[in-house]
Structure 1
Amino acid sequence: MLWKPYLGGSTEAYSTYIWPGLQNTLKAAALAMVIALPLGAVLGIARLSDHVWVRVPASVVVEFFRAIPVLVLMIFGNELYSSYTDVSSDDRPLYAVVTGLVLYNASVLAEIVRAGILALPKGQSEAAMAIGLRKNQVMRLVLLPQAVTTMLPAIVSQLVVIVKDTALGGAVLTFPELLSSVNTMSSYYGANTIASFTVVAVIFLVINFSLTSFAGWLEGRLRRRKKSTGAVLGAQDVAHIGGTAATGAGGAPGGLDLSGPFVGGAGKDD
């Protein structure tokens, strides 16, 4: 009897309670991912800068927001929007949830990016510098493309955390996300709490499993592409790259792929 609203053929529970909450969960998670990923990449690269005026502020921002619980950031964001902006009370919970998720997860992603780049062999950047590439070209053409494959599992794990942490907004800020729909739904259908929570848990499981499965497929595809695009640089190619680096022109000669392991002969670091 408790499972009848979900398995009895009626779609009322899904259309009235679950679907609206799922839409808000996906909206908040998607916005947070779209903002946190590039922001985290920028902060992570900034922490590796040779310039102190870039490296130190980036490090302070990352360590500060990484040390604060995401729930505190959400509450702070809610009060900030309430006191200093014209955001309506209906939209304020969404803004606060996204703000908290972005600030915390961008800081964590920054550390993932920094660690992924530092994990690469030093020979990669040294070889690129030796043929005349500037540091920003080394980062963009050599280090980042290789580090992405290494960082992908950790990045996806953090994206899963973003999806799950949207539930904090429903528990504290009355954000109408998926988990918060359980209370209303359970009360309406006769206090079937276990059945309601089970259905919501299965939905979260499907979302996060789909995300990790896609990441696994993407990682395998990137690894296969790198193995199949190993190009050997000849003496003329090296001279041409050095010339384009000196003049500020981008790109590689002959359509060579500089995103794989940097090679001068056989794809080794030394």
Structure 2
Amino acid sequence: MTSVLYDAQGPRAKRRNVLYTALFVVVLAAVVWWVYLALDDKHQLDWALWKPFFSSEAYSTYIWPGLRNTLTAAALAMVIALPLGAVFGIARLSDHVWVRVPATIVVEFFRAIPVLILMIFGNELYSQYTDVSSDDRPMYAVVTGLVLYNASVLAEIVRAGILTLPKGQSEAAMAIGLRKNQVMRLILLPQAVTAMLPAIVSQLVVVVKDTALGGAVLTFPELLSAANTMSGYYGANTIASFTVVSLIFVIINFSLTSFASWLEGRLRRRKKSTGAVLGAQDVAEIAGTAATGNAA
């Protein structure tokens, strides 16, 4: 039995794959055991080092304030960057040169600059030319850098999602009299959202993780910088502190990815055709509606 992509495995190939799997499991177990012995030898697994994370003090004093700042910065950045990226992505598909060229320059410029540099420039901008207080300046700088970089990335995602749709979609819409902005708004974008959703959520995961750059450089009190402070307070408890924070990041990003998968499947099920056939009267009504819109 063969597949389109590869031939079915024979008995020798199956035995070889089982052997490779068993060997990998043994090596992985050996590495985990070695890490365990190394940590235990350095007394990093002592209960005294992990006990603070089973009380409310560490969470209410360090973890929750840092997590709140991380989620706030990520949410603000994504709420601003998503519509901005959609506008620039659509602008790059414009037939007008005076719209397409400036949008392309802006997207390519900010997409080529590291997000950390954008944060540093944003911090200096707010310091020199605005009255933003020094306490709020790191948050503003982090959000600004994330918006500029991720909006340019999302613009490319939107443009690629629209271009992946068959040309027949727009040609059929124009054939019944829809204008180009109507085609984009009513036909292309609703279909492209489903295709773009995994990439958009992946970018949201990147936004959540990139907030840590602000904590490392701009003293933004996010989750990772809270781990540094927490580690010093509990007697240089570095491994335990960063392990807990890493698990929190894993939970957040895994939740986002799982939600995206569920939402994508739901949207795909809702967009499936019902199999209904349009009659002549239905086609005439659609054409009449399009003609009325064009006349208006």
Instruction: Tell me, yes or no, if structure 1 residue 159 matches structure 2 residue 209.
Output: no
Q: Which residue does 1:29 correspond to in 2? A: 74
Equivalent residue of 2:235, what SS?
coil
Q: Which residue of the partner structure matches residue 6 of structure 1?
A: 53
Map 1:1-270 → 2, pairs under 5 A: 1-7=48-54, 10-227=55-272, 229=274, 231-248=276-293
Q: CA deviation at 1:235?
A: 2.5
Structure 1 pair 144–231 and aligned structure 2 pair: CA distance change class (3 A): farther
CA positional deviation for 1:230: 5.3
Offset of 1:229 from its aligned partner? 4.5
User: Residue type of the partner of 2:137?
Assistant: R
**Distance (whole Å) between structure 1 residues aligned to residue 105 and residue 291 of structure 2:** 34
Q: Distance in 2 between matches of 1:52 and 1:162?
A: 32
Q: Deviations over 1:46-67 (max 9, x none)?
A: 1001111111111111000000
Consecutive unaligned residues in structure 1, runs of 5 or more: 250-270
* TM-score, with length taken from structure 1: 0.89
SS at match of 1:133: coil
Report the CA distance between 1:76 and its aligned residue: 0.4
Output the TM-score relative to the length of structure 2.
0.81
Residue-by-residue CA offset, 1:101-140 (whole Å, 9 max, x unaligned): 0000000000000001000111111111111111111111
What whole-Å deviation, never above 9, does each CA across 1:70-104 have from its counterpart, x for those lacking one? 00000000000111111111111000000000000
Q: Which amino acid aligns with 2:53?
A: Y
User: Structure 1 residues 232 and 44 mapped into 2: Cα distance closer, same or farther (>3 Å)?
Assistant: farther
Closer/same/farther in 2, CA of residues 231 and 115 from structure 1, 3 Å limit = farther
Per-residue deviation at 1:141?
A: 1.1
TM-fit CA distance, 1:244: 2.1
Deviation, 1:163, is 0.3
Q: Percent identity?
A: 89
- Verify the 8 A CA contact 1:131 1:239 in the aligned structure 2: no
Give the match for residue 267 of structure 1: none
Residue 237 of structure 1 deviates from its aligned partner by 2.4
> Could you tell me how far apart the structure 2 residues matched to 1:144 and 1:188 are?
51
Aligned length: 247
Where in structure 2 are there 5+ consecutive unaligned residues? Answer: 1-47
Q: How big is the shift at 1:19?
A: 0.5
Q: Deviations over 1:199-257 (max 9, x none)?
A: 000000111111111111100000111115555433322222222223228xxxxxxxx
Give the structure with the higher percent helix.
2
RMSD across aligned C-alpha pairs, in angstroms?
A: 1.2
